[in-house]
Structure formats: structure tokens, C-alpha cells
Amino acid sequence: MIYLLYTLHIIICLFLILVVLLQQGKGADLSVFGGGTTMAAFGARSATNLLHRMTVGGFVAFILTTLGIAYLKGHVEGSSVMKAAAKPPVSAPVTPAAAPAAAPAPADTTPPPAAAPTDTPAPAPQTPNQQ
């Protein structure tokens, strides 16, 4: 369906370009095509009306195909990147009255570590060239 709409849209665009190029500007004696000759086949006034009606019809068709393409391309499933993002779990707030009383921490019965002897000199820092 979308490819048919694309094809119709391109044909309408080309039609509009040609119809606009065929029109004579207001107050212009010479047009792009025809070199200033009168359009005897359509008559002086009916050619302007016909080209104007064709331009308005092409414009309406152009707008409708544009809106149709936008509608069809906007309703593609999975088009949002954020749909796949996982939502973080919501936790219930903890009130101080509902929190259980914490048990006292057991006393530390291990002796403190022994102090290092101070009579040994500390090793000198090595530079990257020494090994």
C-alpha cells in the first residue's frame, strides 16, 4: 500500500511541476513555452482557468498523499525506542515505625594486630629502570 502511495505521490509531484511551468505569469506577455502566442485551442481565458484548476487539483492530491504517507509511516509497530526500555521496580517506602528493631552488634573480641617492629629500615622505592 505504501509503495502505491509513493508512486502516486511522485507522479503528482511531476504533474505539478509541469502545470506550474506551463502557466503564464500575471502581466507577462511572454511565457516559458509558446513565445507569447495566444493559446487559440483553449481560448484566452479558459486556458488560465483550466491550468489554475489543474494546479489546485494537483495541490489537493499532493496534500492528501503526503498526509496518507505520514499516517501510514507513523503507525508502525515498535517504532519507539523507549518501548523496549525496562522500567525500574518501584519499592514501597519504609516508615520508621514499621522497620524492625536492629539487634546490637556483637562486641569485637579479637585482639588488635601486633605493631610492626620499628628497627628495620623501609625499602627504597624502585624506579622503572631498576629491577
Q: Summarize pLDDT for 13-27 with one digit per residue, the tens.
A: 999 999 999 887 765
Report for 15-29, 59-73, 75-89, 116-130: range of highest mean pLDDT = 59-73
Q: How far, in Å, CA of 40 to CA of 58, rounded?
A: 24
86 has a pLDDT exceeding 80:
no
42 has a pLDDT exceeding 60:
no
Q: What is the pTM of this model?
A: 0.45
126 has a pLDDT exceeding 90:
no
pLDDT of residue 26: 67
Q: Which three cell numbers stand for residue 38?
A: 495566444
